[in-house]
Amino acid sequence: MLKGGALPADGWSMHSLSVITDRRPLTWRLLRAGPVFAVLLWTLAQGPVVQPTEAVAVHPAATVDGKGLRALFGSENRVIRTRERVIAVTFNAAWNDAGLDNILGELARRRAPATFFLTGDFADRYPAVVRKIAAAGHGLGNHSFSHPYFKDLTEAGRQREVVAADRALRAAGAGGRAVTPFFRFPYGETSPAHIREVNALGFADIEFTTDTNGWKGTEGGMTVDRAVDRALDALRPGAVLQMHIGASQGRTEVIDAQALPRILKALDARGYRVIDLRTLLTPRTPARA
């Protein structure tokens, strides 16, 4: 669940002050200085806020802690901490974009926002796709550069994966508010230590309540019915749904693209609203008595 996380002890230590005399590039120095400067860097990099297109309805969720990005630190964030009947829809991309047009079309028809977690390798191969997602008003999250098992990498290697993916997303031309300070671990494998590393780079880890498993395809025993059932069985206030926009091993059938219309229709019928994860970045102002 979402829970507040205190800044690391060295957030304002002498290590932070060392950036003054460090001769390395400013971006690297700010990232090394801890999450406070990293969040500032992310904010400045966004430029003017670009509002989502009319296809995307953005409504803030009533988060319990209300602290914005730093409230997401220290947790793998598999559920949005809220009492409202809301759900976040997310998609991963590392293979191809076989189902993207159908997915974007259905999201637009339902006026539903989504966050797309892309690998840097995918962004390098499909820059036009990155721009298309951003132009539709959706958020872009970081899914590492090459989708490795993080436990098999050194700390420096893990940092390179995160930073390289962020650089690739920005190089693809997605501007404004699209690129988010959200990271999702490959294979959903997290650890407290790895989460702290990601937080220190200025990213909140956003995982998922359930995966439809549509990515397995019919060869893996999945069907559209099963994907829909998995999504609805996990339904609860603040659930985070994970799907995929492409297919592996040269396949073109994307079960999640076929399941999405039924999932969104069922969410609406059950009184759930799809929210934009980016609303969690701005603390909600308490209502006056």
- Give domain status of residue 78, yes or no: yes
User: From CA 186, how far away is CA 152, in angstroms rounded?
Assistant: 12
DSSP tally for the chain: helices H, then strands E: 10, 8
How many separate domains does the chain show? 1
| Residue 67 pLDDT grade (very low, low, confident, very high; cuts 50, 70, 90) | confident
- Give domain status of residue 197, yes or no: yes
**Measuring CA to CA, which residue among 101, 78, 87, 31 is closest to residue 59?**
87
- Give domain status of residue 1, yes or no: no
Mean pLDDT of 135-162: 98
pTM of the model: 0.78
- Give domain status of residue 4, yes or no: no
Q: What is the DSSP letter of 278?
A: G
pLDDT at 58 over 60: no
Contacts of 239 (CB under 8 A, 6+ apart): 79, 80, 87, 88, 209, 210
User: What CATH number is associated with residue 98?
Assistant: 3.20.20.370
**Measuring CA to CA, which residue among 136, 176, 174 is closest to residue 54?**
136
| Domain, as residue range, for 168 | 9-281
Phi, psi of 20 (to 5 degrees): -65, -40
pLDDT at 23 over 60: no
Three-state SS at 140: strand
- Structure tokens of 285? 């102002």
User: From CA 224, how far away is CA 255, in angstroms rounded?
Assistant: 6
pLDDT at 114 over 60: yes
**Measuring CA to CA, which residue among 184, 194, 123 is closest to residue 159?**
194
- Give domain status of residue 56, yes or no: yes
- Give domain status of residue 41, yes or no: yes
